[in-house]
Amino acid sequence: MSEANNGAAGIGAADIAGADAADETVIRIEDLRKTFGDNEVLRGIDLDVRRGEVVVILGPSGSGKSTLLRCVNLLEKPTGGRIFFEDTEITAKKTDINKVRAKVGMVFQNFNLFPHLTAKKNVMLAQQKVLHRNKEEAARIAEEQLEKVGLGERIDYRPSELSGGQQQRVAIARALAMDPHVMLFDEATSALDPELVRDVLSVMKELARGGMTMIVVTHEMGFARDVADRVIFMDGGHIVEQGTPEEVFDHPTSDRTKDFLGHIS
């Protein structure tokens, strides 16, 4: 992940590393189903994500995007199908959920920071509790990660003393401090004032260019076009269409995709 901060040289190196590992599947989702009561929210999702790939998921409200992400780090228990993360079937009964979660970073719309703790302490906490890092190491890594997201000057501020965009960057630093193998973003910029969105998106872009494997639910079409290796359009619990940003945005084949894109652009 150190490449993320090394500017152009780091990006080149990461690109090469990404190309080498291009065939390595990090997440494999097979016929994933999730039902709440009699509401079938995911209706058979098949999806492979390769190491270093950035997958952007689009779709109307209620189409199952958040549920899909939440199933990937087992915040929701799938009703059917299987999910593999690296070499482990995480949907198997014997899997240690906490071990999986530690490797899958998740950033939500609401940052969920502890209000009484400084940015640095917020980033230290899970490192100490989950990874059992000692205080000094957790502090060093917290400072490093906060520096990376552009908050080196704000490490001792509490959430109430930070803008929404800064709080979201603390949340990203907190996730990155756990050395995740994959990052999931669920509308990470949707709650932010427009002028704050840019800083958060640029942190996400930097991360993508550094080779992080990412699944991103967003309404930011510019981001999707620039950064996504693959765009997925979901509707009604199905993947309706997927392809490169050019394919999905410029030449959508499904009427549902066309209709959706027509409404948002």
Ligand X SMILES: Nc1ncnc2c1ncn2[C@@H]1O[C@H](COP(=O)(O)OP(=O)(O)OP(=O)(O)O)[C@@H](O)[C@H]1O
- As measured in angstroms, the least distance from the Cβ of 43 to ligand X is 11
Other C-beta atoms closer than 10 Å to the C-beta of 182 total 21
Q: Which does 245 bind (CB under 5 to 8 A by kind): Mg ion, ligand X, none?
A: none
Closest C-alpha to 50, from 202, 233, 181: 181
Backbone angles phi, psi at 80, to 5 degrees: -160, 165
Closest C-alpha to 176, from 152, 218, 147: 147
- As measured in angstroms, the least distance from the Cβ of 140 to ligand X is 36
- As measured in angstroms, the least distance from the Cβ of 118 to ligand X is 30
63 part of the interface to Mg ion, by CB under 5 A: no
Considering only the C-alpha atoms of the chain, give the largest distance between any 2 of them, rounded to a whole number of Å: 55
Which residues in the 65-84 window bind ligand X by CB under 6 A?
65-67
The amino acid sitting at 226 is D
Q: Cβ closer to ligand X: 42 or 177?
A: 42
256 part of the interface to ligand X, by CB under 6 A: no
Which residues in the 37-66 window bind ligand X by CB under 6 A?
39, 41, 59, 61-66
| Per-residue mark of binding to ligand X, 21-40 (x: CB under 6 A) | ---------------x--x-
196 and 203 Cβ atoms separated by less than 8 Å: no
Cα within 13 Å of Cα(3), Cβ side: 20
- As measured in angstroms, the least distance from the Cβ of 191 to Mg ion is 12
66 part of the interface to Mg ion, by CB under 5 A: yes
189 part of the interface to ligand X, by CB under 6 A: no
The torsion defined by the Cα of 235, 73, 56 and 113, in degrees rounded to 10, comes to 110
The residues that touch Mg ion, with contacts defined as CB under 5 A, are 66
The residues that touch ligand X, with contacts defined as CB under 6 A, are 36, 39, 41, 59, 61-67
